[in-house]
Chain A
Amino acid sequence: MTARHTPRRGAADEPDRQFVTALARGLDILGCFSASRPEIGGTQLAAMTGLPQPTVWRLCYTMVRLGYLVPVSGDKLRPGIPVLKLGRAALASIPLAEAARAPMQAIANRFGSASGMGARDGGRMVFVQRCLSEAQLVMNLRVGARLPLLTSAVGWGLLAGFDQGARDALIAEYAPADPRWPEVRTAFHKAMASYAKDGFILNLGVFHSGYNTVAVPVRGLDRRPLFGLSCAGSASTHSAAFLRGEVAPVLLATARTLEQSPEAQRGHTS
Protein backbone atom coordinates (compact mmCIF):
# COMPACT_ATOMS: atom_id res chain seq x y z
CA MET A 1 0.00 0.00 0.00
CA THR A 2 1.26 3.45 -0.85
CA ALA A 3 0.17 6.99 -0.15
CA ARG A 4 -2.40 7.35 -2.87
CA HIS A 5 -4.03 10.26 -1.22
CA THR A 6 -1.93 13.21 -2.00
CA PRO A 7 -4.59 15.74 -2.95
CA ARG A 8 -6.60 14.23 -5.75
CA ARG A 9 -6.67 15.53 -9.26
CA GLY A 10 -9.79 15.62 -11.38
CA ALA A 11 -10.16 14.94 -15.08
CA ALA A 12 -8.58 18.24 -16.16
CA ASP A 13 -5.70 17.63 -13.77
CA GLU A 14 -7.29 20.11 -11.42
CA PRO A 15 -6.97 19.16 -7.79
CA ASP A 16 -10.29 17.75 -6.55
CA ARG A 17 -11.10 20.40 -3.97
CA GLN A 18 -13.95 18.38 -2.58
CA PHE A 19 -11.75 15.41 -1.74
CA VAL A 20 -11.10 15.08 2.00
CA THR A 21 -7.55 13.77 2.21
CA ALA A 22 -7.50 13.23 5.96
CA LEU A 23 -10.47 10.88 5.70
CA ALA A 24 -8.90 8.94 2.83
CA ARG A 25 -5.65 8.54 4.74
CA GLY A 26 -7.35 7.40 7.92
CA LEU A 27 -9.29 4.74 6.02
CA ASP A 28 -6.04 3.68 4.33
CA ILE A 29 -4.57 3.03 7.76
CA LEU A 30 -7.50 0.82 8.76
CA GLY A 31 -6.99 -0.98 5.45
CA CYS A 32 -3.49 -2.07 6.48
CA PHE A 33 -4.85 -4.64 8.93
CA SER A 34 -5.81 -8.13 7.83
CA ALA A 35 -6.36 -11.58 9.29
CA SER A 36 -2.70 -12.38 8.66
CA ARG A 37 -1.65 -8.99 10.06
CA PRO A 38 -4.03 -8.26 12.90
CA GLU A 39 -1.69 -6.10 15.00
CA ILE A 40 0.54 -3.35 13.62
CA GLY A 41 2.64 -0.64 15.29
CA GLY A 42 2.69 3.04 14.36
CA THR A 43 6.10 3.01 12.70
CA GLN A 44 5.10 0.15 10.50
CA LEU A 45 1.79 1.79 9.59
CA ALA A 46 3.78 4.82 8.46
CA ALA A 47 5.96 2.59 6.30
CA MET A 48 2.95 0.75 4.87
CA THR A 49 1.01 3.89 3.98
CA GLY A 50 3.96 6.09 3.04
CA LEU A 51 2.63 8.78 5.36
CA PRO A 52 4.76 10.81 7.80
CA GLN A 53 4.80 9.39 11.34
CA PRO A 54 3.16 12.43 13.00
CA THR A 55 0.28 12.22 10.52
CA VAL A 56 -0.14 8.53 11.20
CA TRP A 57 0.00 9.21 14.91
CA ARG A 58 -2.82 11.77 14.77
CA LEU A 59 -5.01 9.60 12.55
CA CYS A 60 -4.47 6.57 14.80
CA TYR A 61 -5.08 8.65 17.90
CA THR A 62 -8.40 9.77 16.42
CA MET A 63 -9.43 6.22 15.62
CA VAL A 64 -8.40 4.99 19.06
CA ARG A 65 -10.55 7.72 20.62
CA LEU A 66 -13.49 6.53 18.50
CA GLY A 67 -12.88 2.85 19.18
CA TYR A 68 -12.02 1.83 15.61
CA LEU A 69 -8.51 0.95 16.76
CA VAL A 70 -7.55 -0.48 20.13
CA PRO A 71 -4.08 -0.61 21.67
CA VAL A 72 -2.68 -4.06 22.28
CA SER A 73 0.48 -5.16 23.99
CA GLY A 74 3.81 -3.85 22.78
CA ASP A 75 2.59 -0.48 21.42
CA LYS A 76 0.66 -2.09 18.61
CA LEU A 77 -2.83 -1.43 17.41
CA ARG A 78 -5.64 -3.70 16.35
CA PRO A 79 -9.01 -2.87 14.73
CA GLY A 80 -11.72 -2.40 17.34
CA ILE A 81 -15.09 -4.12 17.56
CA PRO A 82 -16.95 -1.25 15.78
CA VAL A 83 -15.30 -2.21 12.44
CA LEU A 84 -17.46 -5.35 12.54
CA LYS A 85 -20.56 -3.20 12.49
CA LEU A 86 -19.29 -1.26 9.49
CA GLY A 87 -18.52 -4.48 7.63
CA ARG A 88 -21.91 -5.98 8.40
CA ALA A 89 -23.66 -2.94 7.02
CA ALA A 90 -21.59 -3.28 3.83
CA LEU A 91 -22.45 -6.98 3.53
CA ALA A 92 -26.12 -6.13 4.07
CA SER A 93 -25.94 -4.01 0.92
CA ILE A 94 -25.34 -7.28 -0.99
CA PRO A 95 -28.60 -9.15 -0.39
CA LEU A 96 -27.46 -12.10 -2.47
CA ALA A 97 -24.63 -12.84 -0.04
CA GLU A 98 -27.12 -13.74 2.68
CA ALA A 99 -29.43 -15.56 0.27
CA ALA A 100 -26.51 -17.72 -0.83
CA ARG A 101 -25.71 -18.98 2.64
CA ALA A 102 -28.19 -21.87 2.85
CA PRO A 103 -27.53 -23.37 -0.61
CA MET A 104 -23.78 -22.95 -0.16
CA GLN A 105 -23.83 -24.65 3.22
CA ALA A 106 -25.83 -27.49 1.66
CA ILE A 107 -23.16 -27.85 -1.05
CA ALA A 108 -20.35 -27.80 1.51
CA ASN A 109 -22.06 -30.46 3.63
CA ARG A 110 -23.05 -32.68 0.73
CA PHE A 111 -19.59 -32.83 -0.85
CA GLY A 112 -17.40 -32.24 2.19
CA SER A 113 -16.14 -29.04 0.60
CA ALA A 114 -15.49 -25.38 1.19
CA SER A 115 -17.84 -23.16 -0.76
CA GLY A 116 -17.14 -19.48 -1.33
CA MET A 117 -18.79 -16.55 -3.03
CA GLY A 118 -16.61 -13.59 -3.96
CA ALA A 119 -17.28 -10.17 -5.44
CA ARG A 120 -14.73 -7.97 -7.17
CA ASP A 121 -13.22 -4.99 -5.39
CA GLY A 122 -10.77 -3.59 -7.92
CA GLY A 123 -8.16 -6.24 -8.60
CA ARG A 124 -9.24 -8.36 -5.65
CA MET A 125 -11.94 -10.86 -4.97
CA VAL A 126 -13.57 -10.34 -1.59
CA PHE A 127 -15.40 -13.24 -0.01
CA VAL A 128 -18.94 -12.14 0.81
CA GLN A 129 -20.04 -15.63 1.81
CA ARG A 130 -18.09 -18.66 2.92
CA CYS A 131 -19.44 -22.03 4.05
CA LEU A 132 -17.38 -24.99 5.22
CA SER A 133 -18.15 -28.58 5.93
CA GLU A 134 -16.75 -29.99 9.11
CA ALA A 135 -13.50 -31.85 9.48
CA GLN A 136 -12.11 -31.33 6.00
CA LEU A 137 -8.91 -29.91 4.69
CA VAL A 138 -9.99 -26.43 3.67
CA MET A 139 -8.22 -23.19 3.02
CA ASN A 140 -8.54 -20.79 5.89
CA LEU A 141 -10.50 -18.03 4.20
CA ARG A 142 -13.19 -15.98 5.85
CA VAL A 143 -15.87 -13.54 4.87
CA GLY A 144 -14.00 -10.35 4.05
CA ALA A 145 -10.83 -12.22 3.03
CA ARG A 146 -9.29 -10.98 -0.20
CA LEU A 147 -7.65 -12.92 -3.01
CA PRO A 148 -6.19 -11.65 -6.28
CA LEU A 149 -8.75 -11.49 -9.10
CA LEU A 150 -6.37 -12.95 -11.67
CA THR A 151 -4.76 -15.66 -9.60
CA SER A 152 -7.56 -17.21 -7.55
CA ALA A 153 -10.09 -19.88 -8.43
CA VAL A 154 -13.01 -17.70 -7.38
CA GLY A 155 -11.59 -14.85 -9.49
CA TRP A 156 -11.42 -17.15 -12.50
CA GLY A 157 -15.02 -18.12 -11.88
CA LEU A 158 -16.03 -14.46 -12.12
CA LEU A 159 -13.76 -13.69 -15.09
CA ALA A 160 -15.23 -16.59 -17.04
CA GLY A 161 -18.53 -14.71 -17.11
CA PHE A 162 -17.17 -11.73 -19.06
CA ASP A 163 -16.84 -11.59 -22.81
CA GLN A 164 -13.34 -11.70 -24.19
CA GLY A 165 -12.96 -7.92 -24.54
CA ALA A 166 -14.03 -7.09 -20.99
CA ARG A 167 -11.90 -9.92 -19.61
CA ASP A 168 -8.82 -8.76 -21.49
CA ALA A 169 -9.35 -5.23 -20.20
CA LEU A 170 -9.41 -6.49 -16.60
CA ILE A 171 -6.29 -8.56 -17.22
CA ALA A 172 -4.49 -5.58 -18.73
CA GLU A 173 -5.44 -3.47 -15.74
CA TYR A 174 -4.52 -5.86 -12.94
CA ALA A 175 -1.85 -8.19 -14.32
CA PRO A 176 1.06 -5.76 -13.75
CA ALA A 177 0.43 -5.79 -10.00
CA ASP A 178 0.07 -9.58 -9.75
CA PRO A 179 3.43 -11.38 -9.64
CA ARG A 180 1.85 -14.82 -10.01
CA TRP A 181 0.03 -14.00 -13.23
CA PRO A 182 2.82 -14.92 -15.71
CA GLU A 183 3.16 -18.44 -14.34
CA VAL A 184 -0.58 -19.22 -14.53
CA ARG A 185 -1.63 -17.37 -17.69
CA THR A 186 -1.42 -20.46 -19.90
CA ALA A 187 -3.57 -22.41 -17.46
CA PHE A 188 -5.95 -19.44 -17.34
CA HIS A 189 -6.50 -19.37 -21.08
CA LYS A 190 -7.05 -23.13 -21.14
CA ALA A 191 -9.58 -22.76 -18.34
CA MET A 192 -11.46 -20.04 -20.21
CA ALA A 193 -11.55 -22.19 -23.34
CA SER A 194 -13.00 -25.10 -21.40
CA TYR A 195 -15.54 -22.77 -19.78
CA ALA A 196 -16.95 -22.03 -23.23
CA LYS A 197 -17.53 -25.77 -23.59
CA ASP A 198 -18.52 -26.79 -20.03
CA GLY A 199 -19.98 -23.69 -18.39
CA PHE A 200 -17.70 -24.01 -15.38
CA ILE A 201 -14.02 -23.65 -14.51
CA LEU A 202 -11.94 -26.45 -13.10
CA ASN A 203 -8.83 -25.60 -11.16
CA LEU A 204 -6.68 -28.62 -10.46
CA GLY A 205 -3.90 -27.62 -8.12
CA VAL A 206 -3.11 -24.45 -10.05
CA PHE A 207 -2.90 -22.22 -6.99
CA HIS A 208 -2.30 -24.80 -4.27
CA SER A 209 -1.01 -28.19 -5.14
CA GLY A 210 -3.32 -30.91 -3.91
CA TYR A 211 -6.30 -28.55 -3.76
CA ASN A 212 -8.93 -28.56 -6.50
CA THR A 213 -11.74 -26.14 -7.21
CA VAL A 214 -14.74 -25.77 -9.47
CA ALA A 215 -16.08 -22.24 -10.00
CA VAL A 216 -18.83 -20.48 -11.93
CA PRO A 217 -19.96 -16.89 -12.41
CA VAL A 218 -23.20 -15.58 -10.90
CA ARG A 219 -24.77 -12.87 -13.06
CA GLY A 220 -26.85 -9.82 -12.26
CA LEU A 221 -30.12 -8.83 -13.88
CA ASP A 222 -28.25 -7.19 -16.75
CA ARG A 223 -26.35 -10.47 -17.26
CA ARG A 224 -23.08 -8.95 -16.11
CA PRO A 225 -21.07 -11.31 -13.90
CA LEU A 226 -21.20 -10.06 -10.31
CA PHE A 227 -19.83 -12.94 -8.26
CA GLY A 228 -17.64 -15.95 -8.51
CA LEU A 229 -19.10 -19.01 -6.80
CA SER A 230 -16.68 -21.79 -5.96
CA CYS A 231 -16.54 -25.18 -4.32
CA ALA A 232 -13.21 -26.67 -3.34
CA GLY A 233 -11.53 -29.45 -1.49
CA SER A 234 -8.50 -31.64 -1.19
CA ALA A 235 -7.49 -33.41 -4.40
CA SER A 236 -7.75 -36.71 -2.55
CA THR A 237 -11.51 -36.24 -2.07
CA HIS A 238 -12.20 -33.80 -4.91
CA SER A 239 -10.89 -35.43 -8.06
CA ALA A 240 -11.42 -33.82 -11.47
CA ALA A 241 -14.04 -36.46 -12.28
CA PHE A 242 -15.87 -35.83 -9.00
CA LEU A 243 -15.87 -32.06 -9.46
CA ARG A 244 -16.94 -32.37 -13.06
CA GLY A 245 -19.57 -35.06 -12.64
CA GLU A 246 -21.00 -34.41 -9.17
CA VAL A 247 -20.21 -30.93 -7.92
CA ALA A 248 -20.32 -28.75 -11.04
CA PRO A 249 -23.98 -29.52 -11.93
CA VAL A 250 -25.09 -28.61 -8.40
CA LEU A 251 -22.95 -25.46 -8.36
CA LEU A 252 -24.39 -24.37 -11.71
CA ALA A 253 -27.93 -25.02 -10.54
CA THR A 254 -27.24 -22.97 -7.40
CA ALA A 255 -25.92 -20.08 -9.49
CA ARG A 256 -29.09 -20.14 -11.63
CA THR A 257 -31.31 -20.22 -8.54
CA LEU A 258 -29.46 -17.28 -7.02
CA GLU A 259 -29.72 -15.29 -10.25
CA GLN A 260 -33.50 -15.72 -10.17
CA SER A 261 -33.95 -15.13 -6.45
CA PRO A 262 -35.84 -12.09 -5.11
CA GLU A 263 -32.56 -10.89 -3.56
CA ALA A 264 -30.99 -10.66 -7.01
CA GLN A 265 -33.83 -8.35 -8.07
CA ARG A 266 -32.85 -6.00 -5.26
CA GLY A 267 -29.56 -5.45 -7.00
CA HIS A 268 -25.95 -5.43 -6.07
CA THR A 269 -23.64 -2.54 -5.49
CA SER A 270 -20.11 -3.13 -6.53
Chain B
Amino acid sequence: MARTAAMDETEAAADRQFVAALARGLDILDCFDASGCSLSVSEIAMLLGLPQPTVWRLCHTMLSLGYLTATEGGRVQPALAVLRLGYATLSELPVPELARPYLQELADRFNGAAGMAVRDGLDMRFVQRCESDSQLVLNLRIGSRVPIVTSAMGWAYLAGLPAAARIAVAQPPEVWQLAEPVFRRALEGFVAEGFIINPGVLHPGYNTAAVPVMGADGLPRFTLNCGGAASVLSLVQLRTDVGPKLRTLAGLIAAVA
Protein backbone atom coordinates (compact mmCIF):
# COMPACT_ATOMS: atom_id res chain seq x y z
CA MET B 1 0.00 0.00 0.00
CA ALA B 2 1.45 3.34 -1.03
CA ARG B 3 2.33 5.44 1.94
CA THR B 4 1.29 8.65 0.29
CA ALA B 5 -2.08 7.29 -0.72
CA ALA B 6 -2.60 6.15 2.86
CA MET B 7 -2.42 9.76 3.98
CA ASP B 8 -5.39 12.01 3.67
CA GLU B 9 -5.09 13.29 0.08
CA THR B 10 -6.50 16.71 0.77
CA GLU B 11 -4.31 17.03 3.80
CA ALA B 12 -1.26 16.19 1.71
CA ALA B 13 -2.28 18.64 -1.01
CA ALA B 14 -2.87 21.42 1.46
CA ASP B 15 0.51 20.86 3.08
CA ARG B 16 2.84 23.12 1.19
CA GLN B 17 5.93 21.72 2.87
CA PHE B 18 5.22 18.24 1.54
CA VAL B 19 7.36 17.33 -1.47
CA ALA B 20 5.02 15.20 -3.58
CA ALA B 21 7.64 14.21 -6.18
CA LEU B 22 9.81 12.68 -3.50
CA ALA B 23 6.86 10.92 -1.89
CA ARG B 24 5.78 9.42 -5.20
CA GLY B 25 9.28 8.24 -6.04
CA LEU B 26 9.46 6.46 -2.69
CA ASP B 27 5.99 5.03 -3.33
CA ILE B 28 7.35 3.53 -6.55
CA LEU B 29 10.21 1.83 -4.68
CA ASP B 30 7.66 0.64 -2.13
CA CYS B 31 5.74 -1.20 -4.89
CA PHE B 32 8.42 -3.89 -5.01
CA ASP B 33 8.54 -6.71 -2.50
CA ALA B 34 10.96 -9.46 -1.59
CA SER B 35 9.70 -11.72 -4.40
CA GLY B 36 12.23 -10.18 -6.77
CA CYS B 37 9.59 -9.32 -9.41
CA SER B 38 9.90 -6.52 -11.92
CA LEU B 39 7.12 -4.09 -12.85
CA SER B 40 6.27 -2.07 -15.93
CA VAL B 41 5.57 1.65 -15.85
CA SER B 42 1.90 1.05 -16.57
CA GLU B 43 1.66 -1.53 -13.77
CA ILE B 44 3.20 0.94 -11.33
CA ALA B 45 0.89 3.70 -12.55
CA MET B 46 -2.07 1.43 -11.91
CA LEU B 47 -0.86 0.33 -8.47
CA LEU B 48 -0.36 3.91 -7.36
CA GLY B 49 -3.19 5.59 -9.23
CA LEU B 50 -0.78 8.01 -10.86
CA PRO B 51 -0.61 9.17 -14.49
CA GLN B 52 1.82 7.16 -16.61
CA PRO B 53 3.95 10.14 -17.66
CA THR B 54 4.51 11.03 -14.00
CA VAL B 55 5.59 7.49 -13.21
CA TRP B 56 7.78 7.45 -16.31
CA ARG B 57 9.65 10.60 -15.24
CA LEU B 58 10.18 9.32 -11.71
CA CYS B 59 11.39 5.95 -13.00
CA HIS B 60 13.63 7.70 -15.51
CA THR B 61 15.18 9.68 -12.65
CA MET B 62 15.77 6.59 -10.53
CA LEU B 63 17.10 4.63 -13.52
CA SER B 64 19.64 7.33 -14.24
CA LEU B 65 20.72 7.37 -10.58
CA GLY B 66 20.98 3.58 -10.44
CA TYR B 67 18.18 3.00 -7.91
CA LEU B 68 16.21 1.13 -10.55
CA THR B 69 17.47 -1.12 -13.27
CA ALA B 70 15.78 -1.98 -16.56
CA THR B 71 14.95 -5.62 -17.22
CA GLU B 72 13.60 -7.32 -20.34
CA GLY B 73 10.52 -5.87 -21.94
CA GLY B 74 10.92 -2.37 -20.54
CA ARG B 75 10.25 -3.42 -16.98
CA VAL B 76 12.08 -2.06 -13.96
CA GLN B 77 13.38 -3.54 -10.74
CA PRO B 78 15.08 -2.04 -7.66
CA ALA B 79 18.88 -2.14 -7.92
CA LEU B 80 21.83 -2.32 -5.59
CA ALA B 81 21.90 1.44 -5.03
CA VAL B 82 18.67 1.15 -3.01
CA LEU B 83 20.83 -0.36 -0.28
CA ARG B 84 22.35 3.13 0.06
CA LEU B 85 19.03 4.40 1.36
CA GLY B 86 19.56 3.78 5.04
CA TYR B 87 19.42 0.00 4.76
CA ALA B 88 22.77 -0.76 6.39
CA THR B 89 21.89 1.64 9.21
CA LEU B 90 19.12 -0.64 10.38
CA SER B 91 19.78 -4.03 8.82
CA GLU B 92 21.42 -5.62 11.81
CA LEU B 93 19.96 -3.67 14.67
CA PRO B 94 18.34 -5.86 17.29
CA VAL B 95 14.55 -5.50 17.15
CA PRO B 96 14.30 -3.66 20.52
CA GLU B 97 16.72 -1.05 19.19
CA LEU B 98 14.81 -0.83 15.92
CA ALA B 99 11.67 -0.07 17.94
CA ARG B 100 13.27 2.41 20.33
CA PRO B 101 12.61 5.75 18.58
CA TYR B 102 9.00 4.76 17.96
CA LEU B 103 8.41 3.79 21.58
CA GLN B 104 10.11 6.94 22.81
CA GLU B 105 7.87 9.03 20.60
CA LEU B 106 4.78 7.29 22.00
CA ALA B 107 5.97 7.77 25.57
CA ASP B 108 6.68 11.46 24.98
CA ARG B 109 3.49 12.16 23.12
CA PHE B 110 1.24 10.59 25.76
CA ASN B 111 3.26 11.52 28.83
CA GLY B 112 3.62 7.90 29.81
CA ALA B 113 5.97 5.01 29.25
CA ALA B 114 6.22 2.56 26.36
CA GLY B 115 8.08 -0.70 26.01
CA MET B 116 8.69 -3.97 24.30
CA ALA B 117 8.65 -7.39 25.99
CA VAL B 118 9.18 -11.07 25.31
CA ARG B 119 7.68 -14.01 27.13
CA ASP B 120 9.91 -15.55 29.76
CA GLY B 121 8.21 -18.40 31.61
CA LEU B 122 5.05 -17.02 33.23
CA ASP B 123 6.32 -13.46 32.93
CA MET B 124 6.84 -10.88 30.25
CA ARG B 125 10.38 -9.51 30.34
CA PHE B 126 11.06 -5.99 29.09
CA VAL B 127 13.62 -5.80 26.30
CA GLN B 128 12.99 -2.11 25.69
CA ARG B 129 11.58 0.63 27.87
CA CYS B 130 11.16 4.31 27.04
CA GLU B 131 9.78 6.89 29.44
CA SER B 132 8.57 10.44 29.07
CA ASP B 133 9.53 13.17 31.50
CA SER B 134 6.31 12.48 33.40
CA GLN B 135 7.02 11.32 36.92
CA LEU B 136 3.96 9.11 37.07
CA VAL B 137 5.19 5.96 35.38
CA LEU B 138 5.70 2.47 36.71
CA ASN B 139 9.20 1.72 37.85
CA LEU B 140 10.13 -0.75 35.10
CA ARG B 141 13.27 -1.00 33.04
CA ILE B 142 14.93 -3.29 30.53
CA GLY B 143 15.11 -6.70 32.19
CA SER B 144 12.12 -6.07 34.50
CA ARG B 145 9.37 -8.66 34.54
CA VAL B 146 5.62 -8.41 34.84
CA PRO B 147 3.24 -11.37 35.23
CA ILE B 148 1.46 -12.56 32.09
CA VAL B 149 -1.85 -12.94 33.95
CA THR B 150 -2.22 -9.36 35.12
CA SER B 151 -0.16 -7.11 32.85
CA ALA B 152 -1.10 -5.48 29.54
CA MET B 153 2.06 -6.97 28.02
CA GLY B 154 0.91 -10.40 29.18
CA TRP B 155 -2.61 -9.87 27.92
CA ALA B 156 -1.33 -8.84 24.51
CA TYR B 157 0.70 -12.04 24.48
CA LEU B 158 -2.35 -14.10 25.48
CA ALA B 159 -4.47 -12.34 22.88
CA GLY B 160 -1.96 -13.31 20.19
CA LEU B 161 -1.96 -16.98 21.23
CA PRO B 162 -4.50 -19.50 19.98
CA ALA B 163 -7.23 -19.77 22.67
CA ALA B 164 -6.27 -23.36 23.53
CA ALA B 165 -2.69 -22.38 24.27
CA ARG B 166 -3.58 -19.61 26.73
CA ILE B 167 -4.32 -21.69 29.79
CA ALA B 168 -0.80 -23.09 30.00
CA VAL B 169 0.70 -19.64 30.56
CA ALA B 170 -2.23 -17.96 32.36
CA GLN B 171 -0.92 -19.04 35.74
CA PRO B 172 -1.25 -19.33 38.69
CA PRO B 173 -4.94 -20.35 38.53
CA GLU B 174 -6.03 -18.39 41.60
CA VAL B 175 -4.78 -15.13 40.08
CA TRP B 176 -6.10 -15.97 36.64
CA GLN B 177 -9.54 -16.65 38.15
CA LEU B 178 -9.68 -13.06 39.32
CA ALA B 179 -8.17 -11.54 36.20
CA GLU B 180 -9.93 -13.63 33.56
CA PRO B 181 -13.31 -11.83 33.47
CA VAL B 182 -11.59 -8.48 32.88
CA PHE B 183 -9.29 -10.09 30.31
CA ARG B 184 -12.34 -11.52 28.47
CA ARG B 185 -13.86 -8.07 28.09
CA ALA B 186 -10.52 -6.65 26.99
CA LEU B 187 -10.17 -9.49 24.49
CA GLU B 188 -13.39 -8.38 22.79
CA GLY B 189 -11.74 -5.04 22.23
CA PHE B 190 -8.67 -6.78 20.85
CA VAL B 191 -10.70 -8.81 18.39
CA ALA B 192 -12.48 -5.68 17.18
CA GLU B 193 -9.58 -3.23 17.18
CA GLY B 194 -6.30 -5.15 17.20
CA PHE B 195 -5.03 -3.90 20.55
CA ILE B 196 -5.84 -4.70 24.16
CA ILE B 197 -6.41 -2.36 27.07
CA ASN B 198 -5.58 -3.23 30.64
CA PRO B 199 -7.56 -0.88 32.88
CA GLY B 200 -5.58 -0.79 36.08
CA VAL B 201 -5.42 -4.53 36.73
CA LEU B 202 -1.65 -4.69 37.16
CA HIS B 203 -1.56 -1.47 39.12
CA PRO B 204 -4.62 0.52 40.23
CA GLY B 205 -4.89 3.90 38.54
CA TYR B 206 -2.48 2.94 35.75
CA ASN B 207 -3.88 2.19 32.29
CA THR B 208 -2.03 0.53 29.51
CA ALA B 209 -2.68 -0.45 25.88
CA ALA B 210 -0.66 -3.28 24.33
CA VAL B 211 -0.33 -5.30 21.14
CA PRO B 212 1.37 -8.53 20.10
CA VAL B 213 3.94 -8.48 17.30
CA MET B 214 3.24 -11.68 15.45
CA GLY B 215 5.98 -13.90 14.06
CA ALA B 216 5.96 -15.83 10.80
CA ASP B 217 4.89 -18.94 12.77
CA GLY B 218 1.63 -17.23 13.76
CA LEU B 219 2.67 -16.87 17.40
CA PRO B 220 3.43 -13.62 19.23
CA ARG B 221 7.17 -12.86 19.19
CA PHE B 222 7.10 -9.60 21.08
CA THR B 223 4.58 -7.38 22.75
CA LEU B 224 4.50 -3.58 22.76
CA ASN B 225 2.80 -1.35 25.27
CA CYS B 226 2.19 2.25 26.15
CA GLY B 227 0.63 3.31 29.40
CA GLY B 228 0.38 6.01 32.00
CA ALA B 229 -1.32 7.16 35.16
CA ALA B 230 -5.07 7.38 34.68
CA SER B 231 -4.94 11.05 35.64
CA VAL B 232 -2.70 11.73 32.66
CA LEU B 233 -3.71 9.06 30.14
CA SER B 234 -7.42 8.27 29.98
CA LEU B 235 -8.98 5.05 28.72
CA VAL B 236 -10.58 7.06 25.91
CA GLN B 237 -7.19 8.29 24.75
CA LEU B 238 -5.80 4.78 24.91
CA ARG B 239 -8.65 3.54 22.76
CA THR B 240 -8.75 6.29 20.16
CA ASP B 241 -5.13 7.33 19.95
CA VAL B 242 -2.55 5.10 21.64
CA GLY B 243 -3.97 1.71 20.66
CA PRO B 244 -4.15 2.41 16.91
CA LYS B 245 -0.59 3.74 16.95
CA LEU B 246 0.65 0.60 18.71
CA ARG B 247 -1.20 -1.54 16.18
CA THR B 248 0.50 0.29 13.31
CA LEU B 249 3.90 -0.06 14.95
CA ALA B 250 3.36 -3.78 15.52
CA GLY B 251 2.59 -4.20 11.82
CA LEU B 252 5.71 -2.27 10.86
CA ILE B 253 7.92 -4.40 13.10
CA ALA B 254 6.25 -7.70 12.18
CA ALA B 255 6.99 -7.04 8.51
CA VAL B 256 10.75 -6.90 9.08
CA ALA B 257 11.52 -8.68 12.35
Contact = CB atoms under 8 A, between A and B. Distances in A.
Given A23-B22, A23-B61, A269-B69, A86 B78 contact: yes
B212 to A, nearest CB: 17
Interface string B4-21: 100100000000011101
Given A65-B7, A66-B23, A142-B88, A88 B34 contact: yes
Contacts of A94: 80
Contacts of B90: 38, 79, 81, 83-84
Nearest to A145: B88
A37 B92 CA distance: 14
B36 A61 contact: no
Nearest to A77: B101
Contacts of B84: 30-31, 121, 146
Given A66-B4, A89-B78, A20 B91 contact: no
Interface stretch (A67-75, A206-214, A229-237): A67-75
B89 A78 contact: yes
Contacts of B56: 18
A78 B77 CA distance: 26
B49 interface: no
Given A90-B79, A93-B36, A30 B85 contact: yes
A121 B85 CA distance: 13
B66 interface: yes
A58 B101 CA distance: 21
Interface string B218-257: 0000000000000000000000000000000000110110
Contacts of A38: 89-90
B87 A83 contact: yes
A270 B62 CA distance: 14
Contact of B86 (A16, A30, A146): A30
Contacts, number: 203
From DSSP, what is the main secondary structure of chain A's interface residues? Answer: mixed
A68 B101 CA distance: 13
A75 B113 CA distance: 20
A95 B32 CA distance: 15
Interface of A: 8, 16, 18-20, 22-27, 30-31, 33-35, 37-38, 57-59, 61-63, 65-68, 70-73, 78-95, 119, 121-122, 126, 128, 142-146, 267, 269-270
17 contacts: A8-B64, A23-B25, A27-B22, A27-B85, A31-B86, A34-B88, A66-B4, A79-B90, A82-B3, A87-B83, A87-B86, A93-B77, A121-B66, A142-B88, A146-B88, A267-B71, A270-B80
